[in-house]
Amino acid sequence: MKKVIALLLVLFLSLSIVGCSGGKSKDAISESNEIKETITVQVEKDWLAYYEKAAERVKEQYPKANIKFITTGAFDHLDVLDATDVTNKDVADVFAIPADRIYGLEQNEALAAIDAKTMAKNVGGFSNYDEGLGGIFKIGEDYLAFPMNIETLIVFANTANAKEKGINLKKPIEFTELDVKDMLIPVFDAWYGVALTNSAEIELLGKDKSGNLYSDLTANFNELPKQKQEVMKALFNYWKGHNRAKTSLWDEDAAGGYMDTAFSSGGESSLRLEGPWAIGSLSNLTNNGKDLEILPINTITINGNPLSHWQGGWGLAINSRVEDNEAKMMLAQKFIEEVVNPKYAVEFFKATGKILENVPVSTYENSDLSETDKKVIKAVIESYENAPARPLFIEWGSVWDTWKNAILSWPNTKPATVEDAYKEIKASFDAMMQNF
């Protein structure tokens, strides 16, 4: 972070003063339990009871410390931070962030560098911290957030609908052999569309070893490797089928309602690509969950290659204004350690729906969680392990609209062939690359 050198100088001077005046070092603070500072923590309403218990555990070690909560949604909190700055009292000292916000927050100097390796050792359970979310939250030499949740897409199946259509859910399912209505993927949204493109390692936007940006989708169709051409063909055929059937899957505003109706028990769809957070709403559509099955994303193949999403997730970060206060930093880090303490992983999931990276699936399977929750967790962990890392560099933000505008153009341009459909994609990505 740009301010680190200045803060290090301030810290050096302050430590020099403390050393001369007989003040407390970090170890002395820790050993004497003399942290008397107050920190604020952003928390979702439904998470509050769990966070309060975590705070109680911290205060057992530091009884003179104080932890106050700002009850607000994670995205609402980030909106306040974006609209103001880190000094705003409505911006917490500790808050949750999605992985894709890490670079923007770092550029705005909003995040304090944390002693993540020591925290990971204290928490335990990480086989290789830097190869997981921990590495995703590292920019340069600084670790700017601590992992709190792994996130990726999985497959939900309506067993009643699948039985009616003769779809065997106990073996791999080839996407190109399904009826177009059998599986629901709002592919115009790149969040879902990448599940198809990742199956053929199509890079929507990447960086080469020299740091230069490139996109596979600026190549001509006949220049694409066969595997990537086949994904484009499958995508085109998917649109063509829905266009002929006059469904609303290619309507950005109506797609959600269409998918809910189609996936309901007695509807025309058996499979749906979604995130684990959709479990509640999808249970309501499937005979109160009696007709619901949860599968890892690689259950679905496209031209024989399994679908895969991204290794995404959330982290807990510390406000950069805390960085020059040694005691507050220690208190904040200790609180984060307690929130993600593997000992309370099941309680954490019950309160937040979040799955810890450093906890094995067996911990959840041997708990009192419902069978549905256990299936969700198992599917997420398996899907996550087989997924590529999510691209987090800021320029990738341009891909969302670039992809969406290209895919949603098809109902208007009505391409007759996959080559015609691909021309719309190429034109959109050519324009994006020119902007860089």
Q: What is the pLDDT of residues 249-287, one digit of tens each?
A: 999 999 999 999 999 999 999 999 999 989 989 999 999
Distances from the Cα of 408 to the Cα of 248, 249, 434, angstroms:
12, 10, 21
* Cα(190)–Cα(195) distance, integer angstroms: 9
What integer pLDDT is reported at residue 34 of this predicted model? 81
What integer pLDDT is reported at residue 305 of this predicted model? 96
What integer pLDDT is reported at residue 12 of this predicted model? 41
Query: Which DSSP helix (H) or strand (E) runs through 197?
Result: helix 190-199
Grade residue 392 by pLDDT with cuts at 50, 70 and 90: confident
What integer pLDDT is reported at residue 222 of this predicted model? 96
Asked if pLDDT for residue 15 goes beyond 50, the answer is no
pTM: 0.86
Asked if pLDDT for residue 5 goes beyond 80, the answer is no
Average pLDDT score, the chain: 91
DSSP one-letter code for 98: E
Q: What is the pLDDT of residues 230-251, one digit of tens each?
A: 999 999 999 999 999 999 999 9
Asked if pLDDT for residue 353 goes beyond 50, the answer is yes
Q: What is the pLDDT of residues 65-99, one digit of tens each?
A: 999 999 999 999 999 999 999 999 999 999 999 99
* Cα(327)–Cα(24) distance, integer angstroms: 10
Q: What is the pLDDT of residues 274-329, one digit of tens each?
A: 999 899 899 999 999 999 999 999 999 999 999 999 999 999 999 999 999 999 99
Asked if pLDDT for residue 7 goes beyond 90, the answer is no
Of 9-18, 114-123, 211-220, least confident by mean pLDDT is: 9-18
What integer pLDDT is reported at residue 32 of this predicted model? 53
* CA-based torsion, 89, 95, 100, 106: positive or negative: positive
Grade residue 30 by pLDDT with cuts at 50, 70 and 90: low
* Cα(136)–Cα(48) distance, integer angstroms: 27
Contact 242, 234 (CB under 8 A): no
Asked if pLDDT for residue 27 goes beyond 90, the answer is no
What integer pLDDT is reported at residue 31 of this predicted model? 52
Listed in sequence order, the residues at least 6 apart from 236 whose beta carbon sits closer than 8 Å to its beta carbon are 415, 417, 418, 421, 422
Grade residue 393 by pLDDT with cuts at 50, 70 and 90: confident
Q: What is the pLDDT of residues 32-68, one digit of tens each?
A: 568 899 999 999 999 999 999 999 999 999 999 999 9
* Cα(287)–Cα(232) distance, integer angstroms: 35
